[in-house]
Amino acid sequence: MGNHLVSLEHEILAYWKEKKLFKASLDQNKDNPPWIFYDGPPFATGTPHHGHILASTIKDTLGRYHSQNARLVERRFGWDCHSVPIEHEINKQLGLTSEQALKKLGIEGYNHECRGIVQRYTDLWQQTIERIGRWVDMDNDYKTMDPNFMESVWWVFKQLWEKDLVYQSIKVVPFSTALGTGLSNFEASSNYQNIQDPSIIVLVVDQQDPNLHYAIWTTTPWTLPSNLLICVNPNEDYVTLQEKNSDRKIVIAQARMGQFPQIDQFEIIDKITGKSLVGKTYQPLFDYFKTATDHEPVFRIVADDYVTMSDGTGMVHQAPAFGEDDLRIAKDNQINYHPCPIDDAGKFNADIPELKGLYFKDADKLIIKMLKDQNRLYDHHVIEHSYPFCPRSDTPLIYKAIPSWFIRVTAIKDRLIENCDTINWQPSHIKSGRFGEWLNNCRDWAVSRNLSWGNPIPIWVNDQTKKTICIGSVEELRQYSKIRVKDLHREHVDTITFSIPGEPGIYHRVEETLDCWFEAGSMPYAQHHYPFSNKKELSSMFPADFIAEGVDQTRGWFYTINVISTALFDKAAFKNVIVNGIILAKDGKKMSKRLKNYTEPSVLLEKYGADALRLYLISSNLVKAEEQRFEDRGVSEVLRTILLPWYNAFKFLKTYADADQWSSDHKGTPIPSHDLDCWLLSKTNNLIKHLRSQFDHYDLSGLLSHIHQYIDELTNIYIRFNRSRFWDEHMSSDKEYAYLTLAHSLSLLSRAMAPITPFISEYLYRELHQYIPLNSQSVHLDDYPRFEPSQINQALESSVQTMYSIINLGRFLRTKSDLKIKIPLNSITVICRDDVVRQYTEKFATIIKRELNIKSIEYMDDEREYVETKTLPNSPVLGKRFGARFKVFRQLITNLSSDLINELEAQGSITLAGETLSKEDILITREGKTDQIACDGLISVMIDTELNDQLISEGMAREVINRIQKTRKELDLNVSDRIHIIYHADPYLNNVIQEHSRFIQDETLTTQLVVKHEQNTNDWSAHLIDDHRLKLSIAIDHDIKPESGSQ
């Protein structure tokens, strides 16, 4: 059946394409208010994975919902085409570094290769996006490499320039040696890995006293050749330690003595403050940069509060070229020198001949050996710690001082925080948690990259006066240079120079390109070529009503898009956002083609279908921004428990409606009188009310439980308990309302579920056209249903739930007592003090007796003889409320009297020790005192398990009915076919059949039931009921003439 639904999905895809229904939905709403959606552009460097499908499902679900609510929902796909990911992919393909590739191909050839890769995966993406049922415009997509997009990005950059929010500075930034460029802080924070590094304590010799040493600690020995300073905390105490068996003295922080190796070999000879150490000089660890003392106050001790006592020695080695605080402290101490002997590939240069050509991590061992040879190494061991890796190349990052262009985010920080506070975050904890903490600690944003394939930073610098001009458009560049370009990539603009009349010098463009995150942050305007081609009001494109991406974007796109919107327009970029978690493989690891620890999306789609995959993803904890292991069986379970029962509910309607040739021209909500019809309409409207509320609040968590409950109750309560109404031979008004109620509810369900499960919703909606009038050629062009408050009857829902609970308890007791449901029992006793429960039970007594095969229902309101009631405190709630007094209340609650329990259940609260406690504070459980009793909440049920010959005989008759129905199914008969049965049975079973013949015939639509002696029965259907044999020959009534024999 699962494969049948997959086949239906392909039929629906073809139908959508044939009828151009996505375009039709846009045309239908073209004059309606827009619902603005921004689609975050994925990098065009691979095929879509599970995470992309999750995000696409969320986006499509909300887009379809608002389209069904008469909003114009333009959905335009986008591609991130520039920067690190593309260059990294090309470098891998060429087997070269960026530097080698540029040398071989030149910038024009290199960029041509990069441009080509963007087109490579678009067809595969389109296939997957369409297969999952997402409606999005991929023909009119936007690409960050398109000239129009790039020009709008220039316009954005110039707006920031004119607001004095752009500056150039030398700063320490995360740097990828594999890619040869700096990264943003949010990129650098996305891929921490646990690694092993050397942990060493090095002794630095005082300049005046060769026996006095300053102990510094580091896990990056490769930075030691660039050491210029030692930093202490001015407010901490330090001690001078004298080694007991030598003249060696060592200075460390007093607070770190307990962790200092071999501390028992020393004694304290002096205590000093950190402030008093400031200004002391020391001998350079290495001679490579010792001449710096000729022009800079280096190789001395300085102080700063950033030095902590949590690790190390309290004396921090400073290499200004490789640490953000190191560079800041150097500048604070009027030191502008920061030697950097490591090139962009992460290798030592000629400044340090002994290490030239060594990769920085590989140099650690040699540096440690050099220190050991100089007797400077005090302690050496290995530690495991978390270290940042390049998110693209998966290689260790370094923090390196480079000249960069920055956006002055700190200047707008307060407004940024205030604007982002207006956003509705789902889940809500992201707002003040992960995202809020990032905002509170935001730094200026390094937006320049040392790359070839990217949007060039539009700044031209005069080679003599050093004046700068920022260009904001193609036309402005033409006005300065007299050259009109059609492409803004580096190969087209790097050679453009110009001069200003009356000003000496020539203007040249700076070398850097823009961070791709700057382009992504500019997409609300750039996708429309604003403000150039598109003269629409800004309000028609900004801010967005909704965006959705993964939790990793809290420090990526969610951040950059709001930085730019705040800087330009002092507004948040979007009003609502759903943040999804990260999908892991079923083994808890990252999904990996190498490990083969996941099933490809294309395989899942063809095995279980897109609806099952969508519903599984959107109903998981992933929509709560939590990590989740992907389980194929989870998709299978959604198919089994929701989609197939839903489909079978329609098949039930179709089977009997076709048999009766039923259809109706009734429009609107039916107004039935049957309790179960009214109940189903109430449940349907309650489901619509809940789904609408969830969608309107952009909260997708909890959808599955309500949907699952509705489908379960539709099939196991409404259809199961109503079967006899559909079996009625005559088209009574009651049967008419049963058909109408079921068909109407199924049509509402299809419309309500259409945003989530677009395929089966479309199929069932179109099929229902045969039976009731509907509004459109597609469910996705019909309105999203609105709930009718007058149809919601909570009391009726409670009464049906009570009935269902009693039936389930009775089934449980039957199973426990090994009593098949086909064997009738004399009675069931409902034990409950609540009169309302008794009223509910009496209301549906007929159904309860039929479903449990019980002769009578008895009632009992005194449960003490049969049921043990226990009370427990709600510990999380009361523990927090009472603190140390909780023990007292736990004792009181555990020993509650039956009278107080009755009062609590009747009144909703009681008073204990002067405190009012509600039913939420006290947990009440019930347990039967015998195996014949089962309990659920307020209700307890007891069955009479004693059997007699009459009950057993009736049970056997039901077994015969079961075998006849199975044979009918094997013969593929229609449910409405009347049949003629010839049978042979042993004497006992024959007596049972004769005694209950009318009952058997009514239940199986049998017109003649004829017994025959066992001869020529080899081709008959044979059955074994307990130890009794039965053979059946069944034919449709009109195919054979009745035979003589006993009836």
Active site residues: 41, 80, 517, 553, 557, 590, 593
**Helices 557-569, 413-420: crossing angle, 10 deg rounding:** 110
In 3D space, the residue among 127, 141, 125, 146 whose CA is nearest the CA of residue 81 turns out to be 146
Residue with tokens 């009726």: 796
Token pair 């428990």 is found at 641
> Burial level of 912, CB count in 10 A (0-12/13-18/19+)?
middle
SS3 373: helix
| Alpha helices in 282-363, H assignment, sequence order | 324-332
C-alpha–C-alpha distance, residues 772 and 774, integer Å: 6
- Cα–Cα separations (whole angstroms), residue 97 to 389, 424, 870, 932: 18, 44, 72, 77
Closest CA to 286 of 317, 316, 311, 312: 317
For residues 424 and 446, the answer to whether their CB atoms sit within 8 Å is no
Contact 993, 957 (CB under 8 A): yes
Q: At what angle do helices 997-1004 and 987-995 cross, to 10 degrees?
A: 70
Range list of H helices, 895-941: 898-907
User: What tokens were used for 310?
Assistant: 């949590």
Do residues 64 and 29 make contact, with C-beta atoms less than 8 angstroms apart?
no
* CA 954/CA 18 separation, integer angstroms: 57
682-707 in b/e form (b: 16+ CB < 10 A) is bbbbbbbbbbbebbeebbbbebbeeb
In this structure, are residues 831 and 863 in contact, taking their beta carbons and an 8 Å threshold? yes
At 651, which helix (H) or strand (E)?
Answer: helix 644-660
Helix (H) or strand (E) holding 827: strand 825-831
Q: Which ranges in 383-440 belong to alpha helices (H)?
A: 413-420, 429-432, 434-440
| SS (HEC) of 748-769 | HHHHHHCCCCHHHHHHHHHHHC
User: What residue type is 287 in one-letter code?
Assistant: D
Classified as helix, coil or strand, 234 is coil
Pinpoint the alpha helices (H) of 303-396: 324-332, 364-373
Instruction: List CB contacts of 67: < 8 A, sequence separation 6 or more.
Output: 25, 29, 35, 73, 780
Q: Do 1009 and 997 meet the contact criterion of CB atoms below 8 Å apart?
A: yes
- CA gap 318, 401 in Å, rounded: 13
| 191: number of Cβ within 10 Å | 16
Residue type at position 558: F
Looking up tokens 């659920």, which residue turns up? 936
Sequence letter at residue 305:
D
Amino acid (one-letter) located at 251: V
Radius of gyration for the chain, computed over Cα atoms and rounded to the nearest angstrom: 39
Is the torsion defined by CA of 966, 969, 974, 980 positive or negative? negative
Exposure string over 764-788, b if 16+ CB within 10 A, otherwise e: bbbebeebbebebebbbbbebbebe
On whether the CB atoms of residues 747 and 765 are closer than 8 A, the answer is yes
Residues 6+ apart with CB under 8 A from 977: 968, 1005, 1036, 1037
CB 910 within 8 A of CB 873: no
